[in-house]
Structure 1
Amino acid sequence: MDIDLPDVLAEVTAQFARYEEALVSNDVTVLDQLFHEDARTLRYGIAENLYGYTEVTAFRAARSPAGLMRRTARTLITTYGRDAAVASTLFYRDSAPGKVGRQMQTWVRFVGGWRIVAAHVSIIDEPKSLTTGF
């Protein structure tokens, strides 16, 4: 299997950037477009477990647009073949000092383009030191 083919990595990176821009600007239309429209799509959030595209879009529609700005760090996108990818990032909000958010998304290429099929968001106390195994 080919990992991180340059053209595929560029495509997913562009979609990840599109997602991030839509998130901080509360562009619900784009956010909804980027999730796969399927009952098996899921998003585990900070305070919610969303099963299916309908629950994900309902959450987005009801979410307050206040306080969405954030900065990301240590973003890692890895592609597997031409049709699958995982995107991971840390995020920080000025409204939550001492905390670090973690976000992971599984992306799959469908006929209509790249879509998120699974996502997980969590927040923890910021570790004293950050280390990686790679």
Structure 2
Amino acid sequence: MMEINRPDVLAELEPLFDAYEQALVSNDVAVLDELFFASPHTLRFGATENLYGYDAIRAFRAARPGKGLARTVTARVVTTYGDACAVTNIEFRREGEPRVGRQSQTWVRMADGWRVVSAHVSWMDG
């Protein structure tokens, strides 16, 4: 039977999820690129863009302005399934933005560590 939220798996994944958040708000593109699975099967649906494949995601990050990325996480849920799959979700707010942001990611343990294989960011009216 698959175990949900094994403490040892959460202990591996949560620091990576925290590192992703820090890299995102500080625009550390190298870390963001490292944490996504380098595959044409990886995707990221953003608030204004649909990116299919790691190369498209890298190109988007390289071209994105590094300003206005600060946010406050207001809710967070990390759920692991067994020892090789996890789903992470946050709600966030940005100063001066009345909408609520939402981010979800699917992480998979690869040979070289945990990587994001799918991500989605969207906004909801506050």
* TM-score, normalised relative to structure 1: 0.92
Identity value in percent = 54
Query: Counterpart in 2 of 1:120?
Result: 120
Give unmatched runs, 5+ long, in structure 1. Answer: 127-134
Deviation at 1:10, TM superposition (A): 1.4
Deviation at 1:95, TM superposition (A): 3.2
Moved over 4 A (4+): none
Query: Counterpart in 2 of 1:86?
Result: 87
Q: Secondary structure at the match of 1:31?
A: helix
Q: Is 80-89 or 7-16 further displaced after alignment?
A: 7-16
What is the alpha-carbon distance in structure 1 between the residues aligned to residue 18 and residue 12 of structure 2? 10
Q: Secondary structure at the match of 2:3?
A: coil
Deviation at 1:124, TM superposition (A): 1.0
In structure 2, give the amino acid aligned to 1:61.
A
Deviation at 1:11, TM superposition (A): 1.2
Q: Secondary structure at the match of 2:27?
A: coil
- Name the count of aligned residue pairs: 125
What is the alpha-carbon distance in structure 1 between the residues aligned to residue 81 and residue 7 of structure 2? 11
Q: Secondary structure at the match of 1:11?
A: helix
**1:24-39 counterparts in 2 under 5 A?**
24-39=25-40
- Alpha-carbon deviations, 1:11-42, whole Å to 9, x = none? 11111000000000000000000000000000
Q: Secondary structure at the match of 2:118?
A: strand
In structure 2, give the amino acid aligned to 1:34.
L
Asked whether the equivalents of residues 67 and 95 of structure 1 are also in contact (C-alpha less than 8 Å), the reply is no
RMSD across aligned positions (CA): 0.6
